[in-house]
Structure 1
Amino acid sequence: MSDDPHEVADASLVSTRNVEVVVMALLLAVAVFLGWDNWRIGAGWAPDGPQAGYFPFYLSVLLGGASLVGIVSALRDPALREEVFVGRSAFGRVLRVFIPTVIFVLSVQILGIYVSSFLFVSLFMILIGKIAVWKSVLTGLIFSIGMFFIFDVEFNVLLPKGPLEAAFGF
């Protein structure tokens, strides 16, 4: 929170402590999985040097240890229980960006990256940025054409294409 006395307190959606514990638990799960997998492929010392999983195994041990320390300190700190991680209005603003981004990622699979990028940039500018439709469409078009020229034509990088590119023979 800021020191502004006129700022209205935002209703708490989740506490910092809960977020820290969940993130540390997920990191601990990743560390356990990586540790197990690196142990499986060989985390010891061979006659010719370290095995393939030697360094990654010990990095996962460090990650797991740091995660455990983080969980314990988050649970022991009473101030984190009351600290607001995200309020309702801030979470709403995050969702205004997150949901269109998820839709963009899914639409790339159907429409291809260039058409999806055009729609994402244009609609984001129109709906979120409140920018004039012609400016938004022009910007989305320039961005998508520029991206196509750079990646597909100049660097010959294969990016996901959709039915529109197929109709033009790409």
Structure 2
Amino acid sequence: MWREQYEFIVRNTAEPIDMQAFCEHACEKGGESILKTIYAHASEIISNVYQHAPSGEKHTVKWFYDCRAVGNEFQVAVEDDGVGIFESLMKSYGSELPLETLLQPSNARLTHRGMGLSALLRDLDLKKVSSVIFQSPSGTVKMGGAASDSVPHSIAQGTRVVFTVPLWIRSI
């Protein structure tokens, strides 16, 4: 199981978001020099877990995160057991679209795509992020380098986002 490769910290949407604990964890794992870049993207991904979780006390969503150095890169993984990114986008924009199209900014139907996703894809283009993987039960979309090839091809429930940042990048 893929989660066994990580030491995931488990949270749920009934608890407040604790980005300070995330930052401390990232620094402990070797990401201090690129913390601003990591924080910018992880905070958006984690906010999306809360934003898209069903409302009400009985509908909490578990979510998990971990970070680790992989060679000359730093990998951040955030996973939840919610509906799934592609399932949500297909419901909103149509199931006939290929998964990759659901993530592309050029699709006129997707003008209200999240700021976090846009920023992550922009930094991928600028080489501040070297790879990104989006997974849900409907499939997997990998973008960028091969640093995340160890991620499995499927997920049974929810969403998994893994992004990799070069350790040499200077956080601004």
More strand by share: 2
Shared fold per TM-score greater than 0.5: no
More helix by share: 1
Q: TM-score, normalised by structure 2?
A: 0.21
Higher Rg: 1
Q: TM-score, normalised by structure 1?
A: 0.21
